[in-house]
Amino acid sequence: MRLDDLEESQHVEDRRGGGFGGRSIGIGTIALVLVAMYFGVDPQLVLNLAQQAQPVAESPQLPEQSQDPKVKFVSQVLWSTEKIWQQQFSASRRQYTAPNLQLFSGMTSTACGQGQSAMGPFYCPADQKVYIDLSFYQELQDRFKAPGDFAQAYVIAHEVGHHVQNLLGTSAKVQQARQQAGSEAASNAYSVKLELQADCYAGVWAYYADQQYHVLEAGDVEEALQAATAIGDDALQKQAQGYVVPDSFTHGSSAQRVYWFKQGLQSGDLNQCNTFNS
């Protein structure tokens, strides 16, 4: 994947390494907590006092040029999504507001509740942020056998696709439909359609990213398709339990995910991403 012509997004927050809501706790504080416990004092009081004494840091933003290659990659891919979706929204006389992307390690607080690495990358519509623990990319390579930088870019583009759905009002309509669904299987079916549309939107991004910035290299598309195949519900269920339960799908089968990503990639047309009428 060629990224030389891409700038870095100013909407990336690096929260890796923070503890207890983003603030670190020093060895001295830990010692005080142990002493407090020995004398029967509530250790939470010590923690609260220690955190109040620390200056509150503003939301960390990446510098203009990141020194971490992994972070720079994420920032450049996010920048390309910003430019492309701004153009797409402008063409239909809409305003595109770029999401923030937060990097975290282990766990993080979000407006949608506690985020965990085990959840994989996710989008929270309540705070309009994409959340990624970069260790997922190693898991994508080792556990899911889907290596490659374009596979990683596809993951980001898929989550940004959810942001697009949020801005267009699709997410809210689907949430309402899921609440009114008569069964869990029917509710899951709406979730699948939403996820497959985000895959299609990721394909639309890839279409324009290559057209405008010539990012694709030999084998890149295959990397994305391999990732889409590896994280299909049927593939994940087979890996975890040895059998497949289609009614429990929430993201779509491997074949469905590949189909809808290719639909966006080959057409570059949002109108071709209407998974709800499929």
What digits encode the pLDDT tens for the residues 135-183?
999 999 999 999 999 999 999 999 999 999 999 999 999 999 999 999 9
Helix (H) or strand (E) holding 13: strand 12-14
% residues pLDDT > 90 (the chain): 81
Round to whole Å and give the CA distance between 195 and 218: 27
Domain that holds residue 230: 61-277
Is the pLDDT score of 24 beyond 80? no
CA–CA distance, 130 with 104 (Å, rounded to integer): 11
Mean pLDDT for the chain? 87
Helices marked H in 119-253 — which ranges?
135-142, 149-168, 170-180, 184-213, 220-230, 233-241
pTM, two decimal places: 0.83
Q: Which residues contact 31 (CB under 8 A, 6 or more apart)?
A: none
Instruction: Label residues 195-219 b or e (16+ Cβ within 10 Å = b).
Output: bbbbbbbbbbbbbbbbeebebbeee
Query: What is the pLDDT confidence band of residue 17, given thresholds at 50, 70 and 90?
Result: confident
Query: How many domains does the structure of the chain reveal?
Result: 1
Residue 6 lies in a domain: no
Out of 29-43, 119-133, 168-182, 216-230, least confident range = 29-43
Q: CB-based burial of residue 176 (10 Å sphere; 0-12 exposed, 13-18 middle, 19+ buried)?
A: exposed
Asked whether residue 88 is assigned to any structural domain, the reply reads yes
Any domain includes 238: yes
Confidence of residue 278 (pLDDT cuts 50, 70, 90): confident
Q: Is residue 134 part of a domain?
A: yes
Q: Across the chain, how many H-helices and E-strands are there?
A: 10, 6
Q: What is the mean pLDDT of residues 218-243?
A: 95
Asked whether residue 255 is assigned to any structural domain, the reply reads yes
Q: Is 49's pLDDT higher than 70? A: no
Q: How confident is the model over 100-129, as a mean pLDDT?
A: 96
Q: pLDDT confidence of 42, banded at 50, 70, 90? A: low
Domain-embedded: residue 56? no
Nearest CA among 171, 196, 204, 199 for reference residue 250: 196
Tell me whether residue 273 is in a domain: yes
Q: Is residue 232 part of a domain?
A: yes
What integer pLDDT is reported at residue 67 of this predicted model?
A: 79
Check residues 93 and 18 and name the one with the higher pLDDT: 93
Cβ 228 vs Cβ 165: under 8 Å: no
Report which of residues 21 and 259 the model is more confident about.
Answer: 259
